[in-house]
């Protein structure tokens, strides 16, 4: 029931070309101070949920539940999904996204503990066998907000 409500709330279709050409009018965008406009690209299918998480500038908490400020979920749209989140204030922040294809509200991993669903982090650093350091994912948010692209790795 909750999954259906989240999917229904997030059903905003995006029409147009590349992220820079399309208007950023997702239902989560309100034009508020410190708003972060996140474009998640390389989305392969219109299924499941796009999950975006915002992290404070804390190397120990990056990509951990303890360091996460909040998480939002909306319906995933190919070839890109756009979502706005509000940073608590100005400064350096990091974001991560994953395509929860089966909408089970979990970041699924395979038998080896590697990601089984598409994922990415802000600034699109190279990700090998370990998460990137937070310094490679930080972006600056001013009162006017910020625009960030996260390209999913499949």
Euclidean distance between CA atoms 55 and 53, whole angstroms:
7
The residue among 98 and 28 whose pLDDT is bigger is 98
pTM of the model: 0.82
Tens of pLDDT, residue by residue over 79-116, are: 999 999 999 999 999 999 999 999 999 999 999 988 99
* b/e burial code for range 126-147 (CB count within 10 A of at least 16 → b): eeeeeebebebbbbebeeebbe
The residues spanned by each domain of the chain are 2-151
Tens of pLDDT, residue by residue over 135-153, are: 999 999 999 999 999 999 9
């Amino acid at each position: 029931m909750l999954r259906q409500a989240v999917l229904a709330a997030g059903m905003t279709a995006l029409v147009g070309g590349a992220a820079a050409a399309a208007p950023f009018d997702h239902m989560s965008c309100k034009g508020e101070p410190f708003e972060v406009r996140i474009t998640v690209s390389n989305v392969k299918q219109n299924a499941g949920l796009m999950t975006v998480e915002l992290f404070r500038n804390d190397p120990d908490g990056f990509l951990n539940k303890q360091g996460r400020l909040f998480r939002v979920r909306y319906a995933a749209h190919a070839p890109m999904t756009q979502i706005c989140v509000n940073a608590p204030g100005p400064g350096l922040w990091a974001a991560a996204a994953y395509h929860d294809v089966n909408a089970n509200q979990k970041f699924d991993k395979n038998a080896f503990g590697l990601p089984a669903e598409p994922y990415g982090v802000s600034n699109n650093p190279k990700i090998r066998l370990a998460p990137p350091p937070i310094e490679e994912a930080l972006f600056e948010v001013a009162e006017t907000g910020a625009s960030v692209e996260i390209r999913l790795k499949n």
